[in-house]
């Protein structure tokens, strides 16, 4: 998804019509009011409590510019009205809204793939080296960060703790220069999920 459509975080949505034409490029989007399974709700609640204890305003850092609950209404409007929907972009608007990939971002994409290959082959040191370079070359791409952090964090937690990658590492075994909490604290509120659609 990242390589084909420029997804740099999750959740992202790409609108593609029946003819295969992109009418909105990758952007933050949600299906409506969120309902999570009990285990994930607990992980998120625990992380929020820890963040509050640490004096971190998680809600502000992860806030979205648009209303999460109304994004689905825009998709329904497009489904009903097609190209006449006020949310459907013209070809020129899609091109203008799509970000060209710099040489650093292109190298980051290649490095990330090399890191995945090394990880699957059991060459952890090479995987970590490629992913650290990926994060340096494309620091705003949260997809690369979250995937690498999740692999290492979930492994450290025995494979079952979805939320481990969100925790600040407690020892020197963490192979990356950043982690979810410290990197999130460096961005402006609203930048994690930038506003792209007026509903």
Over the stretch 104-114, which tens digit does the pLDDT of each residue have?
Answer: 999 999 999 99
Alpha-carbon distance of 146 to 108, in angstroms, equals: 14
Alpha-carbon distance of 19 to 112, in angstroms, equals: 31
pTM to 2 decimals? 0.73
- What's the pLDDT score for residue 121? 97
Closest CA to 196 of 5, 6, 33, 12: 12
- What's the pLDDT score for residue 59? 62
- What's the pLDDT score for residue 15? 95
Domain ranges within the chain, ordered by starting residue: 1-29+65-100
Closest CA to 167 of 58, 39, 87: 58
User: If you write DSSP's letter for every residue of 160-176 in order, what string do you get?
Assistant: --GGGGGSPP-STT--S
Residues in the chain with pLDDT values less than 70? 1-3, 33-34, 56-67, 154-171, 199
Instruction: Summarize pLDDT for 147-173 with one digit per residue, the tens.
Output: 898 888 766 554 444 445 455 455 678
């Amino acid at each position: 998804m990242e390589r084909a459509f420029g997804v740099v975080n999750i959740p992202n949505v790409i609108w593609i019509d029946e003819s295969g034409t992109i009418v909105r490029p990758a952007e933050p989007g949600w299906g409506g009011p969120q309902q999570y399974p009990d285990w994930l709700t607990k992980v998120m609640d625990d992380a929020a409590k820890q963040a509050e204890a640490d004096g971190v305003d998680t809600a502000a850092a992860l806030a979205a510019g648009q209303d999460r609950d109304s994004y689905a209404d825009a998709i329904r409007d497009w489904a009903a009205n097609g190209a006449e929907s006020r949310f459907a972009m013209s070809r020129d608007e899609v091109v203008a809204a799509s970000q060209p990939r710099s040489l650093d971002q292109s190298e980051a994409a290649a490095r990330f793939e090399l890191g995945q290959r090394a990880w699957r082959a059991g060459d952890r040191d090479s995987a970590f080296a490629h992913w650290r370079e990926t994060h340096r070359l494309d620091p705003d791409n949260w997809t690369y960060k979250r995937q690498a952090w999740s692999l290492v964090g979930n492994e450290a937690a025995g494979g079952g703790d979805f939320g481990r990658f969100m925790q600040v590492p407690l020892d020197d075994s963490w192979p990356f220069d950043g982690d979810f909490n410290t990197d999130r604290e460096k961005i402006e509120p609203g930048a994690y999920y930038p506003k792209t659609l007026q509903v």
